[in-house]
């Protein structure tokens, strides 16, 4: 059943909100490092995001480039089938249907009701910002153990499932799921092990001393 979803509906807390699109700030270098820039990258990374408002958690998958419609559909259906209760309803914006023609029908074929958002807020358009915060936390956690930023492929490989989907709570006190901040910290250590290094060693490494610019250091020679 395809209906319009009103953000003010008293039942709207049970909606799962689906978004697919590119990041406004993150892109992946040829070396594989995911980097941040203030302006829109020429080739940004892509993400599939499914926000479970009732459980206060988000499921997402990161890609170094735009995924095919087939990949988008398979990933969405896997998240719905393995991570979400059967009685939840899905908000699917027209932009997602445009990227992945037939996705609304495919979702309804697995027994889920599909709703169309009335506007961006109803679709959960602000939720992907939490994914950007996750990337920032992951980069910071990797830097803490002396590791360079990870690629989308590395992130997917340590997600714990074959689809590379990450799940995390959005707020500490309101979710029974591990927070995205803790997920980022945990994944940083797994990425270090994936690269063949012990994160504990990285934590113990001393940073070189930094001196203010313009100050000359004279060493005494006896």
pLDDT one-digit tens code per residue, 39-77: 999 999 999 999 988 788 899 999 999 999 999 999 999
Q: Is 172 exposed, middle or buried (0-12, 13-18, 19+ CB in 10 A)?
A: exposed
The number of CA neighbours under 13 Å toward the Cβ of 154 is 25
Q: Alpha-carbon dihedral of residues 105, 106, 112, 113, nearest 10 degrees?
A: -20
Is 98 inside a domain boundary? yes
Q: Answer whether 52's CB lies under 8 Å from 58's CB.
A: yes
**Number of folded domains that form the chain:** 1
- Two tokens at 182? 């803790």
Is 216 inside a domain boundary? no
Is 208 inside a domain boundary? no
Query: CA 166, 168, 172: angle at the middle one, nearest 5?
Result: 165
Which H or E element spans position 156?
Answer: helix 152-157
Task: Label residue 215 by pLDDT band (50, 70, 90).
Answer: very low
Is 221 inside a domain boundary? no
Task: Label residue 176 by pLDDT band (50, 70, 90).
Answer: low
Is 217 inside a domain boundary? no
Query: What pLDDT, on the 0 to 100 scale, is given for residue 100?
Result: 96
Instruction: Encode pLDDT of 109-138 as tens digits.
Output: 999 999 988 766 565 667 788 899 999 999
Is 214 inside a domain boundary? no
CATH number of 144's domain: 3.30.420.10
Query: What pLDDT, on the 0 to 100 scale, is given for residue 211?
Result: 38
pLDDT surpassing 80 at residue 96 = yes
- Which domain covers residue 122, as residue numbers? 1-202
pTM: 0.82
Pairing of strands 2-5, 89-91: unpaired
Query: What pLDDT, on the 0 to 100 scale, is given for residue 117?
Result: 82
Query: What pLDDT, on the 0 to 100 scale, is given for residue 207?
Result: 54
Q: Answer whether 127's CB lies under 8 Å from 119's CB.
A: no
């Amino acid at each position: 059943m395809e209906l319009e979803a009103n953000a003010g509906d008293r039942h709207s807390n049970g909606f799962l909100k689906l978004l697919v699109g590119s990041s406004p700030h993150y892109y992946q270098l040829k070396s594989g490092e995911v980097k941040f820039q203030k302006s829109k990258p020429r080739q940004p990374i892509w993400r599939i995001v499914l926000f479970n408002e009732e459980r206060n958690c988000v499921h997402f998958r990161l890609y170094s480039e735009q995924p095919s419609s087939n990949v988008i559909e398979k990933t969405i259906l896997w998240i719905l089938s393995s991570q979400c209760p059967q009685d939840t309803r899905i908000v699917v914006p027209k932009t997602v249907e445009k990227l992945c023609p037939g996705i609304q029908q495919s979702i309804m074929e697995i027994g889920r009701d599909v709703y169309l958002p009335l506007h961006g807020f109803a679709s959960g358009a602000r939720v992907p910002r939490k994914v950007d915060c996750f990337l920032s936390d992951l980069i910071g956690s990797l830097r803490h153990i002396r590791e360079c930023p990870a690629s989308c492929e590395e992130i997917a490989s340590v997600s714990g499932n074959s689809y590379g989907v990450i799940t995390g709570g959005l707020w500490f006190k309101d979710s029974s799921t591990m927070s995205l901040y803790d997920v980022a910290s945990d994944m940083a250590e797994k990425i270090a092990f994936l690269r063949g290094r012990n994160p504990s060693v990285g934590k113990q490494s001393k940073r070189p001393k930094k001196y203010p610019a313009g100050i000359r250091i004279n060493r005494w020679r006896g």
